[in-house]
Amino acid sequence: MRRTKIVATIGPACRAPEVLVRLVEAGMDVARLNFSHGSHDEHAETAELVREASDRAGRPVAILQDLPGPKLRIGAVRDGTVVLPSRSELTVVCGPVDDRVGDETTLYMDWAGLARAIEVGEAMYLADGRVRLRATAVRAEAGEIDAVVEVGGAVASRQGLNIPGPADELPAVPEEDLAHLRAGAVIGVDLVALSFVRRPEDVTFVREHTRVPLIAKIEKPQAVARAEDILRVSDCVMVARGDLGIELPIEEVPMVQKRLLALAGSLARPSITATQMLDSMITSPRPTRAEVADVANAILDGTDAIMLSQETAVGAYPVLAVEMMASIALHTERHAPYKLWNDTRVARETGDPSYTVAHSACQAASDLELDALIVPTLSGRSARLVSAHRPHVPIYALSPGRETVRRCGLMWGVRAASMARFEVTEELIAGAAARVVELGWCQPGQRVGITAGLPSGRPGSTSLVQIQELPHPSEAWAKPHHHRR
């Protein structure tokens, strides 16, 4: 059973129903919808296609809504893509983009403040840093910047632009993102990723507008500096290496990635490692050796999930890319330091028995050579805490909530399915034992640990783990039912 989860971005290359089914069968656990592109109607249609593919493939798939955030973006360009030749000159016009279309000599920028934030001699980056402009003249009142193309290349419509410095005038959460958030609620997304988070207040502000779990994308130096505060108010973290590698000196990114993944583990927050993981597979059926090593090292660093962006959205081999991710993960996980992770990975939260129970369950799985850990959960929190400790046995999460089942798709080592809701702890344990046998995940006679809480049916009340041999279904239900308390 593969433990590391796979996030795949849905785009033109994989949006066809049959391709989506193959993506799910290949191992896609989370489908990412990038709201920087496309209309709300298009995303709603894509979400429905993902749900249908999930049903056909027989595997739950979570839908992740990725908000654009306060990112600088150019407007439309002629034919969708233009090539900026090296040593050529152009003008960046700042202000409302409207229907204006850029070309090799003029680009339009959707933020009027850019001309006030840039000084002569400073660099601007496009195409994830592959194209570099250098400002040669700035007319702030007119909102215009003249620039020379130092490193040329292709740029696409609505592509992001990075500048040095913090650009403090940008709103923390644009009104456009709140509109996207409302559209996501209508669609029924399972997770929301916040781009260009700079401080914890950015996350808490969005939380006032949604009950969906929030993923903080770390891609700004300010976010790296305040990472612990940001993670404590977030449900998950994404190490977004694309913009991070532009905003920070690129040689610093590997160690920042390691620190962020370790911090996420310490706080028991699921983590996603993203950007250019199998970038060559956009055009090649086989990744480079360096890319394979990059994916494997992220897994050994403790990431919960690995993400594909252009590889699946616009690449020539979307299904092969997911299959390759799954293959690398399966091989790498055989060599993971499970004992070290279980002993040291998660910081103990004093006064919270759920952390202690999760650690004890994982320790019992090792000491008693259990076959699995079974985690009934309402919100997914209990499964998240067990997952964070990285047990060497499968984690089977069972929940009456369909959303919870799907959201478990982002948690390392967790396989989730639905089950009935029980109000009595003894019945919950018996029902969970019977359910994993019914699903074919476990066999009668196997020895498992089952977590539960007193009282049952209340989120966050996990306070015990019971070790038992799984009975034959006829034996399980031959026992008299306990009366409801």
Can you read off the two tokens belonging to residue 407? 């959201």
Active-site residue identified among 3, 71, 217, 241: 217
Asked if 149 and 157 touch (Cβ cutoff 8 Å), the reply is no
Task: Tell me how far apart the 2 most distant CA atoms of the chain are, in Å.
Answer: 83
3-class SS shares of the chain: helix, strand, coil, % to 5: 40, 25, 40
How far apart (Å, rounded) are the C-alpha atoms in residues 109 and 93?
Answer: 6
* Cβ-Cβ contacts under 8 Å for 143 (sequence gap 6 or more): 93, 94, 95, 112, 114, 115
Given the structure tokens 């609505």, which residue do they identify?
Answer: 158
Q: Which residues lie across from 93 on neighbouring strands?
A: 108, 144
**Crossing angle of helices 17-26 and 40-57, rounded to 10°:** 50
Q: Is position 32 annotated as part of the catalytic site?
A: yes
Q: Fill in the DSSP letter of residue 278.
A: T
Alpha-carbon distance of 180 to 212, in angstroms, equals 13
In order of 220, 251, 370, 381, the CA distances from 404 in angstroms are 30, 38, 25, 9
Catalytic, out of 32, 51, 269, 384: 32
CA distance 74 to 231: 30
Whether residue 345 lies in the annotated active site? no
**Angle (CA) 29 30 36, round 5°:** 160
Q: Quick check: is 344 catalytic?
A: no
Tokens, residue 189: 């997304």
Given the residues 275, 303, 377, 462, select the one marked as catalytic. Answer: 275
Q: Rounded to whole angstroms, how far apart are CA atoms 252 and 98?
A: 38
- Work out the angle between the directed axes of helices 318-333 and 289-300 (0-180°, nearest 10): 50
Specify the 3-state DSSP secondary structure of 286.
coil
* Strands 395-399 vs 144-151: parallel, antiparallel or unpaired: unpaired
Q: Can you read off the two tokens belonging to residue 480?
A: 């008299």
- Which residue in 2, 15, 59, 73 is the catalytic one? 73
Give catalytic status of residue 207 as yes or no.
Answer: no
Chain mean position to CA 170? 24
Question: Nearest Cα to 322, choosing from 21, 71, 1?
Answer: 21
- For residue 416, what are the β-bridge partners? 397
Task: Provide the annotated active-site residues.
Answer: 32, 73, 217, 275
